[in-house]
Amino acid sequence: MMTSSSDVRLERGLDTVILVYSLLEGHPASSACEQFLRSRTGWFLSSLSLLEATAVLHKVYGVPVSNVHKKLVEVCMGPISVLSVDEWAVLEAIERSEALRIDLTDAVLLVLAIRNGVPCIATEDEPFARACQTAGLKTEAALDEALRQQVAEWEEQWLPAKGLPRVLRQIERWLFTRYPEVAREFRSITGECSHLP
């Protein structure tokens, strides 16, 4: 779908959440995010975003790692540039993360945008958008308010709650691949993965 190319002029940074939504099947934000990415040029993300996307797609949305890998290979072969992160960018990102109270991977994207003279970052993360604006960057969003509401409703219905239920759901999935009977019993005694046995 998208590429790692040094010949592309960098125009905008891509926050992981938009990439993740674009790669999901059956998610309400998928087509909007894919269209958003295709309608603009000069995209870049950090190499750390590939790790973050893997974790989110697998651990939150339950996409098998082998499928995630295939999707990310397509990303790396398409028109999205993937920038490496050196130790100085990491150290600067640690400082910005603390000062702006944003996630480390968001801070890395911000640092890379500033270092490469990129004026804009696309994100659906409000605190990160405010941090970008504080740093003098413009922000873009892929979703309108109605679609954000659809996403929230879909995720409430289909994703386990954060924290313990999500962890229990991961355990149940792992058990199911090896010991289906034990997985069914685990699901039952944890109240559909809502509490400890």
Q: Is pLDDT at 173 greater than 80 in this prediction?
A: yes
* Tokens 């590429």 -> residue: 3
pTM to 2 decimal places: 0.82
pLDDT at 154: 92
pLDDT at 7: 63
Query: Helical H runs in 77-189?
Result: 87-100, 104-115, 126-134, 145-158, 164-178, 180-189
**pLDDT tens, residue by residue, 4-61:** 445 679 999 999 999 999 999 999 999 999 999 999 999 999 999 999 999 999 988 9
Torsion of CA 135, 141, 145, 148, to 10 degrees: -110
Q: Find the range with the poorest average confidence among 33-37, 48-52, 75-79, 97-101.
A: 75-79
Q: What is the mean pLDDT of the chain?
A: 92
3-state secondary structure of 143: coil
Is the pLDDT higher at 116 or at 164?
116
Q: Is pLDDT at 3 greater than 60 in this prediction?
A: no
pLDDT at 2: 41
Is the pLDDT higher at 155 or at 117?
117
Q: Distance between CA 78 and CA 182 in Å, rounded?
A: 42
Give residue 192's pLDDT band: very low, low, confident or very high (50, 70, 90): confident
